[in-house]
Structure 1
C-alpha cells in the first residue's frame, strides 16, 4: 500500500543543514494499523507528511498502491490526496464559523458530487463516529474528544484507503483517547482502511498491529 525507499529529508538554510530523515526503508501493507514512535524532533511528523504527499523527500521515492509518485504533477498529487488519503492532526483544524456538518463536507467540495450527496456522506461519516445528533453544532460547542471525532469524520468522508493520524489522542484524556482508538480500530477492521498513527503513547501504540520506531531520523525498529 505504502512503500518508502531510501528516503532522505534535508532542510537547508544559508548556514545550517539539518537531516530530518536518513535512509528510511518502510513498507506498510494494505489494511495494516501501524504506529510510529520516537522522541520529539526525531522526524515522525516529517515521515507522515511524506507518506501523505504533503512534502517531498530530498532523495528516495514513494510508492502508493504500486505507483511511484515522484513523476506526478501537483494537480495529480492533489487529486490522489483528496481521493485516497485522509488526515487527522493533533490540532483539530476545524473551521469555527462552520457547523459540524459543513466542516465534514469540505473535502467533497473538490469532487464532482451534488450538494445532496455531500450532505448524505457527511451525515454517514458523523454517524460512524457517534455524532449524528450534533450536526448543526459549532466546534466551540463540542468537547475536545468530540472535535477530534469530527476531524476523523472529515478525514473519512471521502472513503480514503489510507488514514494518516498525527497524535490523534495527544490532547485528550484517557477516556476520550480510548474512544478515538476504538474508532481507528473499527476503520481498519470494518473498512480495511490502512491506518498510520504517530504517537508518544506506548499504551496506544501497543494496540496497533506494528510499532515503527524512529530516532534521529533513522528507523531503529
Structure 2
C-alpha cells in the first residue's frame, strides 16, 4: 500500500546540512496498524510527512499502491492525498472560527472544488456520520474553543476519516492527552483499523505502540528496528515490491 525505497531526506541551509532520514526501506501493507517510535528529533514526523505526500524525499522512491509519485505535480499529489490519505496532527489544527461540523467538512469541500460531485447536503451528512463515529454527534455546533483536548482530537479524527480514506496517518494522536483520553482515542483508531483502514501512527508511548500490529523504530534518522507485534504485520523481511512508473495513475481518478 505504501512503499518507501532507499529514502533519504536532507535539510540544507547556507551553513549546515542535516541528514534527517538515511536509507529508509519500509513496506506498509493494506490493513496494517503500524507504530513508529524513536527519540525526539530522530525523523519520525519527517517520515510521516513523506508517507503523507506532504514532503518530498531528497533521494529514493515513494509509491502508493505500487504507483511511483515522484513525477506527480503538486495538484496531482494534493488530489491523491485528498482521495487516499487522512491526516491526524498532535496539535489538532482545527480552525477556531468554524464550527465542529464545518471543520470536519473541509476535506469534502476541497474535493468538491476539484471535480467532486457531492452536494452541500451530502457533505454535511458525511461530516455528521464521521462525528457520530467518534462520539461527538452532540457537538456539531460547538467551536474548538469550547472543547476539551480529547474532544478536539476526536474532531481531528472525524475530519481525517470523513472522506473514507484507505490510509490514516497519525502524528502523536495521544501525545497531548491524559491516559484516559489517550486510551479512548486509541480505541477509536483500533476500530477504524478493524473496519479496514491502514493506520501509521507516530508515538512516544510504548504502551500505545504495543497495541498496534507492528513497531518500526528510528534512531538518528536510521531505521533500527521493525518488529511484528501481532499476526498480520509485514515485519523486517517483507519485500518492498515493485514500482510502476505512471504519473497519471488511476488513483487520481478512482
User: Paired residue for 1:198?
Assistant: 202
User: Paired residue for 1:175?
Assistant: 180
TM-score (normalizing by structure 1): 0.99
Matched, 1:122 2:127: yes
Deviates more, 1:109-118 or 1:43-52: 109-118
- Runs (4 or more) in structure 1 with deviation over 2 Å come to none
Which structure 1 segments of 5+ residues have no match?
none
User: Paired residue for 1:166?
Assistant: 171
> 2: distance between equivalents of 1:154 and 1:5?
30
The one-character-per-residue Cα deviations of 1:80-106 (angstroms, maximum 9, x if unpaired) are: 001100000100111111110000001
Which structure 2 segments of 5+ residues have no match?
226-254
Question: How many pairs does the alignment contain?
Answer: 220
User: Paired residue for 2:236?
Assistant: none
> 2: distance between equivalents of 1:205 and 1:167?
11
TM-score (normalizing by structure 2): 0.86
> 1: distance between equivalents of 2:88 and 2:144?
16
Residues 202-221 of structure 1 mapped to structure 2, 5 A cutoff: 202-221=206-225
Residues 101-180 of structure 1 mapped to structure 2, 5 A cutoff: 101-111=101-111, 112=116, 113-180=118-185
Q: CA deviation at 1:15?
A: 1.1
> 2: distance between equivalents of 1:22 and 1:92?
29
Matched position secondary structure for 1:105: helix
User: Paired residue for 2:67?
Assistant: 67
> 1: distance between equivalents of 2:138 and 2:213?
32
Q: CA deviation at 1:63?
A: 0.7
Matched, 1:90 2:90: yes
The one-character-per-residue Cα deviations of 1:29-83 (angstroms, maximum 9, x if unpaired) are: 0000000000000000000000000000000010101101101111110000011
> 2: distance between equivalents of 1:110 and 1:42?
33
Q: CA deviation at 1:214?
A: 0.1
> 2: distance between equivalents of 1:4 and 1:183?
27
> 1: distance between equivalents of 2:156 and 2:92?
6
Residues 7-22 of structure 1 mapped to structure 2, 5 A cutoff: 7-22=7-22
